[in-house]
Structure formats: structure tokens, C-alpha cells
Chain A
Amino acid sequence: MEKADSRDLEAVIAGCKRRDSESFSRLIDVYSTRLYGFFYRLSGDKTVSDDLLSELFVKLVEKIRHYHGGRFEAWLFTVASNIWHDWLRAKQRDDKVLEARKEELELGAKLKRLSGLETEVIDRLGWELKNIDEQSRELIMLRYYSQMSFKEIAQMQGMPIGTVLSKVHRGLARLRQLMEQYSHEW
């Protein structure tokens, strides 16, 4: 992952606003790994993460002019979070259709393989993250990948800081317990 100091970043963002292709290229180099990790840890699926990362950067071409200062990571991960929620909603609709179809055709096992998240588990952490509720998982990943403070996350999500703190704490404590349990078992 490339890093950019704040002055570099300002220049890159200004370039993106001027619709300079090179600046977009640099922005991708700086943020693609963190954003990919965010999408991957939420979806547990490489293909989905590929699609969401592409969608995010293509949307940025249009959306970057709406960034008017403030912490760029907070803004960028808000866009990423919105894209994730849009995808989740679309998936829930698709799942309903798949469910109806599954009952209709009685091909449950085959369709479950096609439905994505339930079956594709690449690593242990990804597997255990599925045992943590969706909202806590997103808050944990936002904190980890965007490097935002609890206060910034609370503002971004429109939640009281105590709630964010408690959800992240409980989620991470559960994750720790699950991962350590797994290590002892093996």
C-alpha cells in the first residue's frame, strides 16, 4: 500500500477535482488496499470485493467534487459504507428471489452455492467475523481500515459515541474469544 502525506493527498484530491487521470491513478494506489480490505472483511467474498472496489472508484469520478474538506478518509469510507449498504440491500432482494426459486425448484443445495456469502470462506478470520452481528462488524472494519477515531465513526454513523464504543468492544472481545478458542482447538 502506498502512503501519502497530507500535502500530497491535498494535491491528489485537487487533481482529481480537475479530472486529471493521473491523480485518480494515484488515489487508487493509495487507498485501494484499505478499501479492498474493508469490502472483503464485510463480504467475505473476493468477487464481490472486486466489484465494489471498481464501483467505488468509478463513482468517485463524479462524487469527488462533493468533497469540501475535512478528513478525507472519513468522507471516502462514508462513500464506501454507502456502496456496501446498497449492495447488501440488493443482495437481500436477490436472496428473497433465490429463496422463492429454491422452494419452487427444490434445488436448495445447488442454489445455496450460488448465493455467495454463505459458502465462500477463504480464511479463519473471515469465517469468525460471520459470527459477529452485521453492525458491529461494520463498525470494527470502519475503525480498522479507515483509521477513524470513535468520535468520527459516531458522527459518520449518526450514533452516540458510547454505543459505537460498546459495539466495537463487544464485537472485538467476541472475535478474540472465537479466534483464541480456534487456536486452542488446533
Chain B
Amino acid sequence: MNGKKENLKELLNKFYAEAEAAKAEEDILRGEQIISDNPSPQPDEKLISEIKSRISVELAKQDRRGVRTYLRTALAAAAVILIVSGLIVMYNHKTVKPAGSPIISQVGIENSDFTADDAELAVLAADIEALEDEILALRLGENGTEWMNADEIEIELLEINEDFWKG
């Protein structure tokens, strides 16, 4: 077993004095010769056959695992494609509006509770309601104070109404 590609003498000279390097070289070469002269046992033929069979089994097992992984990946990819296609179709179906349909969704307007969203709006609504009551009372002759006539009230109502739309 002498395939080492190096100049042992040169290498040893870098680390040892000349006489020591020569001794070290001799020790190394002689030591390695002793190992060569006392070879280790060889692996049994039976062991080698067993290893080869184990490797064939291992390769087959891994190939099967590879096919299974490939199939699983392909199925997963197909499922994702189907789901995405379905979602795209559903989304397109929902967003296409029939001609002549209202621009603002009716559902949105019907379900909106403005008083809850805007405190100011609530105050204005209350004022309008109070004025309406007063108008009604005047018309019915229930209000004895007569500090504001119906026209004045109507003007104030219109002003409030205008303020409301100005925001």
C-alpha cells in the first residue's frame, strides 16, 4: 500500500533536524512495513454478498419511495390547480353584473345604521324630529307658547337639512 504522493524526506526535513528526520523516516517506513507484513483478515465472501444484496434492497426501497413521493407531489399539484381554477371561476361569476343593475348595492344601504356610526348625525336627526313634533303641535293648535310660527320652524328645518347634506 504505497500510493502516497509526497516526498516524505522533504516533509520531515521541514519539521526535524537532519539526523532526526532520517531516523523518523526510517521509523515510519519500517513501521508501515510491519503493518504490510501482518495483513488484516479479509472480509468474507459471504459478507460481501450480503452487503451487495442489502444495497440492492436499499436501492429498490428508495426507488419505490421516490415514485411514491413523485405521485404524491403530482396529486397535490393537481388538487391545487383544481381548487385555484374553481375559485377563479367562482370569482368571475360573482363579479360579472347584469346590464342595468344599480351601481350602489341595495343591501349595503338597507343595512346601514347611520345614527350608530355618526354622533352628529344622531343629534341632527333628533333636532329634525323635535321640529317635526313642534310643527305637528302647531298645526293641531296644541302648542300654547306660539314663540315660533310654522314658517320659521320650516325655515329652520330646511337649514338643518342643508347642514346635514353639507356634512
Contacts and interface: CB of A to CB of B under 8 A. Distances in A.
Contact of A172 (B31, B38, B56): B31
Contacts of B1: 34, 144-145, 147
A36 interface: yes
B55 interface: yes
Given A124-B38, A149-B5, A58 B62 contact: no
The SS class assigned to the A binding surface is helix
Interface of A: 19, 21, 24-25, 28-29, 32-34, 36-37, 40-41, 46, 49-50, 53-54, 57-58, 61-62, 122-126, 140, 143-145, 147-151, 161-162, 165-166, 168-169, 171-173, 175-176, 179
B63 A122 contact: no
B15 A162 contact: yes
A64 B35 CA distance: 30
Given A25-B52, A53-B47, A165-B15, A150 B40 contact: no
8 contacts: A29-B48, A32-B51, A123-B38, A124-B38, A145-B1, A169-B27, A172-B28, A176-B31
The SS class assigned to the B binding surface is helix
Nearest to B46: A50
Contacts of A143: 4, 32
Q: Which interface class (under 10, 10 to 19, 20 to 34, 35 or more) fits B?
A: 35 or more
A122 B11 contact: no
Contacts of B35: 41, 125, 140, 144, 175
B63 A37 contact: no
